[in-house]
């Protein structure tokens, strides 16, 4: 069964403003599900998912299980780097968001899709892996860690290209993934990305050696997400 999803590309947007926006959509979907708990379809026209694509100004976010010790800057240094910091309610440790990075926030009902939370994360990873394959960049998964990685069989060269951190309630998801396309990787020098001290970070631009058509990467990724989750766009 296909899952109906509204797609929104909201461009460059402040992190907190976007967090509040996705929280509003998340709470509406959770509320609709409570009201219609005796129905498989939910309120007519209000049971669809939402997929948000966004870029953020420089910001570091720390998951609920993460350690602030993995942020290597103090408040004054953050200001000097024109960066913000938020402790948030997703899983995972610390990560960076910034221009040139596709941040995706799928607000999906996993019961309607028919997958577990573990399978959901696996499918997010799969969509990114398939996107990278279109650019002839070989990527995969790393045992014991979420996200998408390169050179996983070579510990000295293993590097992350997409971070994933999600929250779920009543099988409704929020937060999501951060996929480095033309990202300024210098900002990762000021954290232990996702809590790792021995792993690098990369981007499509760095792997291929040229700046990428950002809109085209978004288009491919959107299509891969549609494919792996069997989505139908309603806009």
SS3 60: strand
Q: Which of 194, 204, 220, 231 is catalytic?
A: 194
Distance, in Å, from the CA atom of 136 to the CA atom of 23, rounded to the nearest integer, reads 36
Distance, in Å, from the CA atom of 104 to the CA atom of 217, rounded to the nearest integer, reads 13
β 231-233/3-12 pair status? parallel
Distance, in Å, from the CA atom of 40 to the CA atom of 36, rounded to the nearest integer, reads 8
Sign of CA dihedral 32, 8, 222, 6: positive
Beta strands in the chain (DSSP E): 3-12, 49-55, 59-62, 84-87, 94-97, 101-107, 140-142, 145-150, 159-169, 172-180, 200-201, 231-233
Helices (H) and strands (E) in the chain, counts: 6, 12
Asked if 162 is an active-site residue, the reply is no
β 159-169/172-180 pair status? antiparallel
Q: Give alpha helix (H) positions in 36-136.
A: 75-80, 110-113, 117-134
| CA 21 to the chain's CA centroid | 15
Q: Active-site residues: which are they?
A: 194
């Amino acid at each position: 069964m296909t899952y109906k999803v509204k797609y929104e590309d909201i461009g460059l947007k402040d992190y907190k403003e976007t967090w509040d926006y996705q929280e509003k959509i998340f709470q509406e979907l959770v509320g609709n599900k409570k009201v219609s708990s005796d129905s498989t379809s939910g309120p007519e026209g209000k049971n669809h998912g939402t997929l948000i694509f966004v870029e953020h100004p420089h910001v570091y976010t720390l998951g609920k299980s993460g350690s602030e010790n993995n942020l290597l800057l103090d408040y004054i240094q953050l200001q000097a780097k024109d960066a913000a910091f938020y402790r948030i309610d997703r899983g995972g440790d610390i990560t960076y968001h910034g221009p040139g990075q596709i941040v995706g926030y799928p607000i999906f009902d996993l019961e309607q899709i028919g997958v577990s939370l573990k399978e959901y994360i696996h499918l997010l990873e799969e969509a990114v892996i398939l996107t990278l394959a279109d650019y002839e960049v070989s990527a995969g998964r790393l045992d014991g860690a979420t996200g998408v990685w390169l050179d996983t069989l070579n510990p000295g060269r293993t590097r992350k290209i997409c971070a994933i951190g999600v929250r779920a309630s009543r099988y409704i998801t929020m937060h999501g993934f951060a996929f480095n396309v033309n990202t300024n990787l210098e900002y990762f020098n000021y954290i232990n990305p996702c809590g790792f001290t021995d792993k690098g970070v990369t981007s499509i631009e760095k792997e291929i050696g040229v700046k990428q058509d950002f809109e085209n990467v978004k288009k491919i990724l959107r299509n891969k997400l549609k494919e792996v989750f069997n989505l139908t766009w309603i806009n």
